[in-house]
Amino acid sequence: MGADERVFVQGIDVAGRGGTFGVLEGLTEEYGEERVRNTPISEVAIVGSGLGAAMTGMRPVVEVMYSGFLGVPMDQLLNQVAKLRYMTDGNVDIPLTIRTQNTSGFRAAAQHSQALHQVLMAIPGIKVACLSTPADAKGLLRSAIRHDDPVVVFEHAGVYNRSGEAPVGEHEIPIGEAAVEREGTDVTVVATQVQLWNALEAAEELAGEVDVEVVSPRTFDPLDVDTIADSVRKTGRCVVADDTPLRAGTQSELAALVHEECFFDLDFPVQRIGVENVPIPFSPTLEDEVVPGTEDHVAAIRRLA
């Protein structure tokens, strides 16, 4: 926002309160309520006005509080945001960034506990990014805001309090570039957001028994298949983990791509880790049963070792 006056933020309670989980705290004091704008409780208005502003040359960053609420402006996302640049033969840029968050493990019940990036991943014309680390948060968000296509950025409530290194200064991560977060030789784990941290914890737990390489896709559209495939060719074994449901989740797409690209290098079929195919329960005991944890990674890795 300091570098580009066209960038503004809008959403529910973003001014003053700092938006969901206080992620935008301090922006109002620095840039004022003209550029940090509270909206009515209407995702249709939030996304629709953001789209219009983007088409006229602004670079809006709009917040939809929870990814489950993306269902409200879905017609705009599916038929307007995703398609207008294509339908105008590239004559109209759509530099719209939509921030939202996946959630699990917070006892927030089914409507507020979902991961839905696989839904947006299936819509051509929208870039999809998943933030998993502090470096991702800085580098991918900066790239999304400067991109001329619409980008939906999925944060995750379960990683807001995680700490890690983030480069200072002009740090950008190209849209479509995966990262090897931990190098290894025996098994590749491809994981995002909370499951990335679970994979890293499992890798540490198994150190000395299995040498685990952990890859973070970072963006799902475009997807860096080459980095994932190179890792799997090296290890010959692969686990895919995500907070989306196992049925039609990102795990299925990634597993299919790994089998296509690395079939003759695989020693075993790809293993998948994900949420059970039920709405996430409010009950803490049931939620812990449905949402995978570090122990699920350890078990999946040991099945391949």
| 199, 241 contact by CB (below 8 A) | yes
| 258, 227 contact by CB (below 8 A) | no
117 is catalytic: no
For 89, the 3-state DSSP assignment is coil
For 180, the 3-state DSSP assignment is strand
Classify the C-alpha dihedral 214-216-221-226 as positive or negative. negative
Element holding 238 (H helix, E strand): strand 238-245
**Cα–Cα distance between 152 and 47 in angstroms, integer?**
11
Q: Which residue in 112, 147, 156, 297 is the catalytic one? A: 112
Nearest alpha-carbon partner for 164 in 140, 190, 198, 137:
137
**Cα–Cα distance between 287 and 199 in angstroms, integer?**
19
Q: Which residues are catalytic?
A: 112
